Chains A and B, each alone.
Chain A
Amino acid sequence: MTDMTSNTPSRSQSQSAADEGAGREEKRLGFALTLPAQLLVLFIALFPILMQVYISLTDWSPLDGIPWYRAYELWIGLTNYVDLAGDPRFWSAIWRTLIVMLICVPVQFLLGLGLAILFVDEFPGRRAMYSTILVPMMVVPAVAGYMFFMLFQSGGPINGILSFLLGSSVQIAWLSDPDLALLGVIISDIWQWTPLMFLILLAGMLSVPQDQQMAAVLLGAGWWRRFFTIVLPRMKTIIVIAIAIRVIENFKVFDNFYIITGGGPGVATETISIYIYKVTQNDLIWGYVAAIALAILIVLSIVSGMAISRMRKG
C-alpha cells in the first residue's frame, strides 16, 4: 500500500546475474531508460541551484544591462542574506503562509474526514454525489480564483446571500478589508482542496478491513470506539500522506490568491510565493530574489529531510 520509501530495485537484481549476456543488455537498457529523467533532474536542479548561489551573492538585476554571468562585477557578498534576515515583509509573508496553512489544512482535513465517514458505506446516489463533490479540485486554480473574485465583489452573490439571510442589504467590501480578504482567500483554498482530502481519506477508510471493524462491533464496541481504536489508527499512514500533500501544496499557494487579491490590500494576503513573484516582476532585484529562494530551498530541504528520515524510522 505505501510505497513512499522503497526506492530499492524491486526483484530484479538476482536475476540479472544469472545470464551474463542478458545481464549486459539489461545494464545498457536500464542506463538508457533512466538517462532522460536523470538529465532533466540535473538540468532543473543542479545547474539552477549553482546559478542561484552565484547570483544571490551579487546585486544583479536584469535591468543592469550586463549578462548574468558577469554579475560578479556587482559582487556584494552576503549582503542579500543580511538584508533578508531583517526584511519584515519577507518574515510577514512567511508567517502569513504558515497561518493560512494552519487554518486551511485542519479545516480541509476535518471536513474531508467528515464527508468520508458519510460516504464510507453504500447508499442510493452515492456515485453521482461522489463525482460532484470532486468537481472543485479539478477546476483550474486560476479559474477558481476568478470565480471567487466575482463572488466577493461587494455587489456579488455572497453579499446577496447574506442580504437575503439577514433581510437587509449587506455591502461588505470583502477584498478591500485586510482581515476579510485573508478570510476570502482561505475560503477559496478550502473550497478547492477539501475534495482532495475527502478523496484520499475515503480511499484510506475503505481500505480498513471490514472484518476488523465487525470484530470490534461484535466485541461490544460502539461507533466512536470503533472509529478511534480501529479505523483511525489503521488510516495513520494515509492521514500523514494526505496532510503532507496539502501542507506542501499550501506552502506554494499562488494562483487563486494572486488572482483574487493580488496579495492585497497592501500585503494582507501576501504569501511567500506572491512576495517572491512581486520582487521578481516589480522590483526586479534578482540577486535578492535568488537569496530568498535559496534560503527557502535550504530550509525546506532540512525540514523534508528530517520528515523523511523520521518516516523511514517509524
Chain B
Amino acid sequence: MMQQLPFIYFGGMALVCALLVVISRVAIYSAMALLGMFVHVAGLFIILDAPFLAGVQLLVYAGAILVLYLFVVMLLNVHSRGTMLQRQTPWAIILSLLAVGELGYLVLTSHFYPKLPAIPHPTVPTLGNTETIGMVLYTQYLFPFEVASVVLLIALVGAIVMARGRSGVRQG
C-alpha cells in the first residue's frame, strides 16, 4: 500500500486534471488543468524509473505544445457559449454510452486484464536511462523513428505552404 501511494497520487491527480480539462468552461482553466495533468504524468514516469521520459514530457508537452495552445486561446479570446454547447447534450449522452458499452464489452470478452503478466520492476541497466533509449531508438526502431521524422517534416512544410497562401508573394 505504502509503495503504491505515489502511484495513487500521481495517477489520481492526472485523472482529476484530465476531467477538469474537459468540464471547465473557461479555456484558460482547461489549459491550466492540462498543465497539471502533464506534470503528474511526468511524476508517473519518474516512479517508473524513467526520468528521461519525465523530462521530455515536461519539456515538450508542458514547455512547448501547451504554451502554443495558451497563445492561441489568448489571441482569439475565446468565450464559452454555454447554450450552444448544451444543445449537444442528448447526442453526447448517446455516443458516450455507446463508447462505454463497446469498451466494457471488449474488456469483458477479451479477459485481457487477468492475463496481464506481472510487470517486472525495470531492472536498472548498466547504461543510464537516456543511453538505453538512444540505443534502442537508433538501432531497433530506426525505421519507425525516421518515418516519424519525415511525417513531421511533411506537416511542417504543409503548415508553411498554407501560411504563405496561394499568391506566391513572399510575406514577411
A and B: bona fide binding partners: no
Chain A residues packing against B (C-beta within 8 Å): none
